[in-house]
């Protein structure tokens, strides 16, 4: 048996897309339908208004209604995590407080983007959110989107605070993940922020993944992760290899355009991304369709 790390949010957290109607309005009913589908297919926690949920173009009012409707519509089937981060500390604090009042199970706090704070600035930003709530919090490090890497020393300082129970590491840096896991408190969990690095992160002591591909192959990802923790490395490696083309095609252009297109093909009504993101080209759509057909999802 492999070491079982702490997992406040389970093994698979799906960073859920935000469905839009034809006129661009949020389709809350479809969001509830999709969240229930995810919970029935391996997802332990549904993450709302993250990067995949198009948080940059959602209003705070839309996010609030989304949190309420999905939480109510899911009941006890899965936990619900709210993406409440911002590059304004005041806004991040206020939105996280609101998520707590709405009964969310946790909140995801992204590294502030665009304004490029120092490591001390990052610490003070995350600490301000920590000190304002009693909700379980997950840090989110994604330097490809924020232009600032949260160094492991900063992560480890924050891991000592009362509410930070986990980090979503989307730096793609396995050495950084290894350093965090080597020195973090035993009750602190690391989740891969990249589907294709899930198994690698587990081998380092990670707890699971914050996933995009689990919209499509949740049961297969659950099989891979369960096999790993059962010590069945052969099955874990085999499933991981089988899913690599799914992981790859979900990022042939900016997320979440590929996964939204795939979900539309599967019968969900997710619409297209809001500008400045755009729908897939015909060539990109063909690539997605071919991979879905290969995996007998279509």
> Which residues are identified as catalytic?
140, 168
d(Cα 176, Cα 197) in Å, to the nearest integer?
13
d(Cα 83, Cα 129) in Å, to the nearest integer?
13
Q: 100 and 135 in contact (C-beta within 8 Å)?
A: yes
Stretch (H or E) spanning 98: helix 89-101
For residue 47, the SS3 value is strand
The sign one gets for the Cα dihedral 198, 138, 140, 6 is negative
Buried b (16+ CB within 10 A) or exposed e, 50-87: bbbbbbeebeeebbbebbebbbebbeeebbbbbbbbbb
d(Cα 279, Cα 261) in Å, to the nearest integer?
8
């Amino acid at each position: 048996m492999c070491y079982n790390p702490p997992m406040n949010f389970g093994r698979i957290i799906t960073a859920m897309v935000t469905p839009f109607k034809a006129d661009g309005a949020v389709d809350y009913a479809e969001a509830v339908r999709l969240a229930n589908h995810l919970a029935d297919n391996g997802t332990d926690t549904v993450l709302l208004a993250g990067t995949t949920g198009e948080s940059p173009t959602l209003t705070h009012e839309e996010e609030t209604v989304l949190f309420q409707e999905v939480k109510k519509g899911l009941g006890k089937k899965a936990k619900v995590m709210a993406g409440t981060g911002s590059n304004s500390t005041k806004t991040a604090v206020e939105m996280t407080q609101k998520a707590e009042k709405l009964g969310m199970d946790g909140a995801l706090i992204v590294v502030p983007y665009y304004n490029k704070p120092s490591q001390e600035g990052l610490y003070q930003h995350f600490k301000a959110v920590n000190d304002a709530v009693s909700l379980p919090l997950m840090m989110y490090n994604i330097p490809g989107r924020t232009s600032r890497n949260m160094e492991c020393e900063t992560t480890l300082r924050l891991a000592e605070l009362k509410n930070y129970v986990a980090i979503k590491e989307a730096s793609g840096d396995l050495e950084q993940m290894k350093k965090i896991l080597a020195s973090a408190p035993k009750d602190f969990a690391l989740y891969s922020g990249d589907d294709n690095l899930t198994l690698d992160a587990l081998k380092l002591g990670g707890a699971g993944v914050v996933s995009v591909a689990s919209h499509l192959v949740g049961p297969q990802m659950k099989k891979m992760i369960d096999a790993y923790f059962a010590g069945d490395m052969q099955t874990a490696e085999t499933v991981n290899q089988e899913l690599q083309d799914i992981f790859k095609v979900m990022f042939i252009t900016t997320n979440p355009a590929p996964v939204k297109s795939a979900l539309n093909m599967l019968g969900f009504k997710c619409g297209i991304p809001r500008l400045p993101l755009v729908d897939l080209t015909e060539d990109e759509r063909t690539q997605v369709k071919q991979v879905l057909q290969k995996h007998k999802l279509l």
